[in-house]
Structure 1
Amino acid sequence: MDGHVRIGSLYGSRDSVTRVDATSLWRMGWFSRAYGRFTGWVDRLVGWQRLPRPLGLAVLVGLRDTLRRSNLHDAGGTPTAAPFVAAWTTQRTADGSWNDLDQPAMGMAGARFGRNIPLRSVLTGDAREVLTPNPRTVSRALLTRRSFKPAPSLNVLAASWIQFMVRDWFTHGHGPAADAWSIPLAPDDPWPGGSLTIPRVAGTDNLHTHWWDGSVLYGNSVAEQRAARTGSEGKLRVGAVRPVLADGGRDPSQEPGFWLGLVMLHDLFAREHNAICDRLRSDHPSWGDEELFQRARLVLAALLAKIHTVEWTPAMISHPTTVTAMRANWWGLAGERVRRGFGRISANEAISGIIGSATNHFGVPFTLTEEFVAVYRMHPLIPDDYEVRAAFDDALIRRWNLRELSGPAALKVAAGSRMADLFYSFGIAHPGALVLDNFPRLLQEFERPDGRLVDLAATDLLRIRELGVPRYNEFRRLMHLRPATSFSSLTGDPLVAARLRTVYGDDIESLDLMVGMFAERPPRGFAFSDTAFRVFVLIASRRLNSDRFFTRDYTPAVYTQAGLDWVADNTMVSVLLRHHPELRPALREVANGFAPWHRVGR
């Protein structure tokens, strides 16, 4: 591999000039830069994860400032927003427009993905780059799950949750079938039919809104919202047989990626939306359907963001320093008690949290990024095999495999099961670890609802290359990390290193980003790599900083005080218990709903 190639046609002439806003100018001052250089030196010399918690937090603050200054890049391609409507000052629009009242198209559905690397470093996505080494060869040799490797500190709801979030956050869409990538097969490859094709992406635009707005429940258009709503009291349609919304009016159970875990969380949070409506209506009996719906949507979107920030992410990266850092993103280092008792005691986000602070885009219009998409390819979390057990006494009800819980079959299983039993079964089981040799077998030969076979591992590899994300070592350089000097130094396991060399030769620079992240030794308590963590350090806070409904408009006037209290008071566990109180024995003394639950009767 020859490093990175010129940007080519992926962005064409639509590059835009980064606009610097006044609130971020201070970050370009000499102290911020000097502090960033110093903390970067400490991180490379010692590692933030090896430092005592206060020092580790101080280093992470410096690393985040460096990333904010150097790793936010606007790729242009802004769509056109509809004319302004006064109600949108206090409501989220269906398509994500008008979140920023000065730049109304920022982050709306159809906006181009941004980048966390300079545009000149984006690879071209030409055929040689995309197909070398053969993604099917990499899939078979390095990713195939021969025996299940569990992540013992998590439960399967953690795997369901991230797909639920991804369905809210992004999709590229597929190009025409006639323009698909054709993957050569080895003579001994048992792939059915003798040929493997993978559709190209439709482009570099996000078909979803870029904001954290619950579009997985509400859709990305007014028409999808109407389909989701009952038309009375602001409520959503509920029931396991109701499909999750999809773009373009398609039946989502016929779309790849639809499975039981998605149905369960959709049902749970549709019920939570309706509970919020009941709470708001008790305070405001004169409010009609539209007002109740819009306010409940604001509250639920904030609750989803909070659960992800202070529960899911700390469960995935349970190092003491990062647990504190993620809680500080929401509550501030002063802590939840101080924030709830006295409100914001400082304008500084580190002290009092990002929520309710000033909106800040750090000089670059907000979008999600292609690099963010790349590091969220976490399919090894999904098990192949499942046991459904009774929440009452842990009795085995039935065993299923992933294929039997996917597509339209997922709706039949949900309709024929007690939802509490399904949640209990996911809560006591472990997901897969994000490591080599642990990709779900049934996703390496996955039959889509339309009958076409897909190797999702090969597809993940190809997508990252196709969208111009650099290979592992160059990605680390661009994220201010030292590259791996050899396969042995990367893995610490000579047998694994030998297998990597079998696929990539002696060229460490050709190592795929996803493979490198799975091979890397993560920090203590981490379910994913430190390489991926650098993108999270940047984007996890930026998604809150840029959204006015989490910053300047996170107020009682917009949410109501009851709405703000609902977000503050609730967790994944409280949501589960509100709608499925029979789960109480399994959730006794469980502080984080994504950690393993108690097995009843044991």
Structure 2
Amino acid sequence: MRRPRTTGEAPHGSPFVALHDRLALAVDHRIGWDRLPRPLGLLTLVGLRDNLRRKNLFDTTSYPTRGAPDIEAPSARHLTERTADGTYNDLEHPRMGMARSRFGRNVPADRTYPEPEPDILTPNPREISRALLTRHAFVPAESVNALVAAWLQFMIRDWVSHGHGAIDDPWQIELLDDDPWPVRPMLVPRTLPDTTRPEDGDGLPPTYLNEHSHWWDASQLYGNDLAAQQSLRAGEGGRLRVPGNGSLFPDRPDLDPANTPGFWLGLLMMHHLFILEHNAVCERLAREYPQWTDEQLFQRARLIVAALIAKIHTVEWTPAVISHPTTVTALRANWYGLLGERVHRLLGRVSRSEVLSGIVGGRPDHFGVPYALTEEFVAVYRMHPLVPDDWSFRSAEDDTLLREASFRELAGPHAYDFFGKLGLTDLFYSFGTSHPGLVTLHNYPRFLQEFERPDGKLMDLAAVDVLRIRELGVPRYNEFRRRLHLKPAADFTSLTDDPVWAEELRRVYSGDIERVDLMVGMFAERRPAGFAFSDTAFRIFVLMASRRLNSDRFLTTDYTPAVYTQTGLDWIENTSMATVLLRHLPDLRASMRSVTNAFAPWQRPSA
């Protein structure tokens, strides 16, 4: 294995590759990848990804460390099983990507120091929320359905968590006289510090721990430690416990996801669906391998479901929300290669090249830097505008209106009540025939600007999103673009093509384009055709969407029949999101008959 690097550039490779990468940057700056014919656009994206791999992976595990948690001793089972806490994915470096390990970075360390007070609170995050983010009228993303919002949070619950924050020394946001917020000043918990860093930190910028495993291992279904995992299991046949109309943990409120901020009906629906899918996999494996124990069935089913989720996100969800023809091809190529799904099914991998035959089933590569999800990755995934405020629930049979609700009625423990009153078929039908919001200015959910946490505290999540990105040392918009090899905005009129927005931005940021926050800039900028979010965010996707596959042993060298079983590989390759839905909710067939991607709008019975 190559020695991990902490800073600097990885080798270029061949002179041809180096020339191609330089040309890709030049063409992207002059024309833009999204304005090129598809073949040229794909070549450009490959070059952009190469540049990002060489220049935008930075290691934080090499910073001073103390008191790292103990891990279990190596065992033969680590060769073929995902661990509960993410250890032993990389057998040479078993702590890599485990739960409670550090977030990495996509920008150099000297650009990740948080600003000191009062600069870090300037402009005021609450005023940014009120003036630039408040939703006055819902702006839908009409090319997709509302399942994209539920799916995204389902993924976030697998990938990242900074914990619940510390309220003993909160951020204090001053409020204007006309602000109706009930508590003055607004108090925002600080992000929990990295407990594995010495207090002085050797002068290096602060780091933070990911409470979740960094791997794409479906930890939202299976837990991030062995105790949680055991609580979720049925104890026979490898199955998970199927919830009724309430929590999986009626006797353990500390484990109830409804007591974690961000829980809502869409998340509950996805959890329920993929618990059913896990159990279906177990039933199939039990028929094929009747001698297997509960443990053997569970572990193989977990591998299969985790890989299936990664596939659905790669070849269905992401192409749906960034549906430019070039990106649809590029993202599917991450899984199948540019030779395509048909060649992949007929011949398997025909080349060692990830460009031709895809990443999955190839060789693992950390690109010289230990694998970790990054603070910048977390920042660009702050996409709360996807969530509508107002919801209509209708019958899958005849589109009859069953109930209307606000998002507040779907959040926290209320989700269980709502889930119990409407069947899963009607719930998924209602999401599939509704639109999420566009990720843009003036489209932040109203109820998330006055969000009541499970502990009763009110939060303006729009203001919190802005402050969190600053607090975690992610650069502001223009500097972020520079570090990702993009041109910064010269002024407010070049940042956005909406003159009203440009004037609003100029006023809030006192005419200083360099102070524009990353999230605000991403929400304001021009989007490529078919995109529900920004091209700036997409640059992190270009890098990290591939990296999550490249680094994972179970999605590269160990994506084999010996580890998954041939039955497992066939299940993954022959299953889509639509397959999952129709396997468990066959009454959705009429509504889904015209869609090739389950995240595209479904057909209503009357249509």
TM-score range, shorter chain: over 0.9
The one-letter amino acid of 1:59's match is: T
The one-letter amino acid of 2:95's match is: A
User: What's the TM-score, normalizing by structure 1?
Assistant: 0.95
Q: Does 1:331 align with 2:336?
A: yes
Matches within 5 A, 1:172-187: 172-187=162-177
Q: Does 1:522 align with 2:497?
A: no
Shift of 1:28: 4.5
Q: Does 1:426 align with 2:399?
A: no
Q: Does 1:164 align with 2:154?
A: yes
CA 302–371 in structure 1, closer or farther in 2 if over 3 Å, else same = same
Partner of residue 600 from structure 2, selected from 587, 595, 600: 595
Deviations 1:248-275 (CA, angstroms, capped at 9, x unpaired)? 9432212210100000000000000000
Partner of residue 215 from structure 2, selected from 206, 211, 215: 211
Counterpart in the other structure of 2:511:
506
Deviations 1:164-207 (CA, angstroms, capped at 9, x unpaired)? 00011000113331111011000100011333111011030100
Structure 1 window deviating more from structure 2 (238-247 vs 267-276): it is 238-247
The alignment partner of 2:432 has SS state of: helix
CA 138–52 in structure 1, closer or farther in 2 if over 3 Å, else same = same
Partner of residue 564 from structure 1, selected from 554, 564, 569: 569
CA 244–472 in structure 1, closer or farther in 2 if over 3 Å, else same = farther
Counterpart in the other structure of 1:311:
316
Shift of 1:449: 1.9
Deviations 1:260-313 (CA, angstroms, capped at 9, x unpaired)? 000000000000000000111111000010000000000000000000000000
Partner of residue 390 from structure 1, selected from 392, 395, 412: 395
Partner of residue 121 from structure 1, selected from 97, 111, 116: 111
Partners in 1 of 2:34 and 2:391 — Cα distance? 35
Shift of 1:83: 1.4
**Sequence identity of aligned pairs in percent?**
59
Partners in 2 of 1:346 and 1:243 — Cα distance? 47
Partner of residue 370 from structure 1, selected from 372, 375, 391: 375
CA contact (8 A) 1:243 1:263 kept: no
CA contact (8 A) 1:28 1:69 kept: no
Partners in 1 of 2:419 and 2:545 — Cα distance? 32
Partner of residue 71 from structure 2, selected from 53, 78, 81: 81
Partners in 2 of 1:215 and 1:244 — Cα distance? 15
Counterpart in the other structure of 2:198:
none
Deviations 1:309-339 (CA, angstroms, capped at 9, x unpaired)? 0000000110010000000000011111111
Partners in 1 of 2:249 and 2:31 — Cα distance? 47
Matches within 5 A, 1:14-53: 18=5, 27-53=12-38
Partners in 2 of 1:19 and 1:86 — Cα distance? 31
The alignment partner of 1:549 has SS state of: helix
Partners in 1 of 2:125 and 2:537 — Cα distance? 21
Partner of residue 454 from structure 1, selected from 450, 453, 459: 459
Q: Does 1:194 align with 2:184?
A: yes
Partners in 2 of 1:17 and 1:248 — Cα distance? 41
Structure 1 window deviating more from structure 2 (82-91 vs 225-234): it is 82-91
Counterpart in the other structure of 1:360:
365
CA contact (8 A) 1:256 1:407 kept: yes
The alignment partner of 2:229 has SS state of: helix
Partners in 2 of 1:193 and 1:100 — Cα distance? 48
CA contact (8 A) 1:577 1:584 kept: yes
CA 244–74 in structure 1, closer or farther in 2 if over 3 Å, else same = farther
The alignment partner of 1:541 has SS state of: helix
Deviations 1:29-74 (CA, angstroms, capped at 9, x unpaired)? 5433322111100100011111111110000000000000000000
Counterpart in the other structure of 1:90:
80
Partners in 2 of 1:208 and 1:244 — Cα distance? 19
Counterpart in the other structure of 2:224:
220
Counterpart in the other structure of 2:197:
none
Counterpart in the other structure of 2:582:
577
Q: Does 1:239 align with 2:243?
A: yes
The one-letter amino acid of 1:312's match is: W
The alignment partner of 1:199 has SS state of: strand
Partners in 1 of 2:341 and 2:253 — Cα distance? 41
Shift of 1:81: 3.0
Partners in 2 of 1:269 and 1:242 — Cα distance? 16
Deviations 1:496-518 (CA, angstroms, capped at 9, x unpaired)? 11000110011100000000000
Question: How many positions carry a matched residue from both structures?
Answer: 585
The one-letter amino acid of 1:158's match is: V
Partners in 2 of 1:396 and 1:331 — Cα distance? 41
The one-letter amino acid of 1:18's match is: R
The alignment partner of 1:308 has SS state of: helix
Deviations 1:201-235 (CA, angstroms, capped at 9, x unpaired)? 10301000000000000000111111110000000
CA contact (8 A) 2:452 2:458 kept: yes
CA 475–19 in structure 1, closer or farther in 2 if over 3 Å, else same = closer
Partners in 1 of 2:442 and 2:594 — Cα distance? 34
The alignment partner of 1:180 has SS state of: strand
Partners in 1 of 2:10 and 2:260 — Cα distance? 45
Partners in 2 of 1:559 and 1:497 — Cα distance? 53
CA contact (8 A) 2:241 2:248 kept: no
Shift of 1:123: 2.8
Structure 1 window deviating more from structure 2 (235-244 vs 265-274): it is 235-244
Partners in 2 of 1:503 and 1:63 — Cα distance? 33
The one-letter amino acid of 1:225's match is: Q
Deviations 1:494-541 (CA, angstroms, capped at 9, x unpaired)? 211100011001110000000000000111111111100000000000
CA contact (8 A) 1:391 1:582 kept: yes
Partners in 1 of 2:16 and 2:140 — Cα distance? 44
CA contact (8 A) 1:125 1:467 kept: no
The one-letter amino acid of 2:134's match is: T
| CA-atom RMSD in angstroms | 1.8
CA 422–398 in structure 1, closer or farther in 2 if over 3 Å, else same = same
Shift of 1:242: 4.9
Shift of 1:463: 0.4
Counterpart in the other structure of 1:65:
50
Structure 1 window deviating more from structure 2 (320-329 vs 445-454): it is 445-454
CA contact (8 A) 1:240 1:411 kept: no
CA 242–104 in structure 1, closer or farther in 2 if over 3 Å, else same = farther
Q: Does 1:401 align with 2:406?
A: yes
Shift of 1:241: 3.1
Deviations 1:401-427 (CA, angstroms, capped at 9, x unpaired)? 011111111011112211100000010
Counterpart in the other structure of 1:230:
234
Counterpart in the other structure of 2:96:
106
CA contact (8 A) 1:152 1:430 kept: yes
The alignment partner of 2:419 has SS state of: helix
The one-letter amino acid of 2:391's match is: Y
Counterpart in the other structure of 1:12:
none
Shift of 1:130: 2.2
The one-letter amino acid of 1:160's match is: A
CA contact (8 A) 1:224 1:249 kept: no
Partners in 1 of 2:594 and 2:111 — Cα distance? 49
Shift of 1:587: 0.4
CA contact (8 A) 2:174 2:184 kept: no
- Structure 1 residues without counterparts, runs of 5 or longer: 1-15
Counterpart in the other structure of 2:302:
297
Partners in 1 of 2:244 and 2:597 — Cα distance? 25
Partners in 2 of 1:195 and 1:337 — Cα distance? 59
CA 195–18 in structure 1, closer or farther in 2 if over 3 Å, else same = same
The one-letter amino acid of 2:57's match is: L
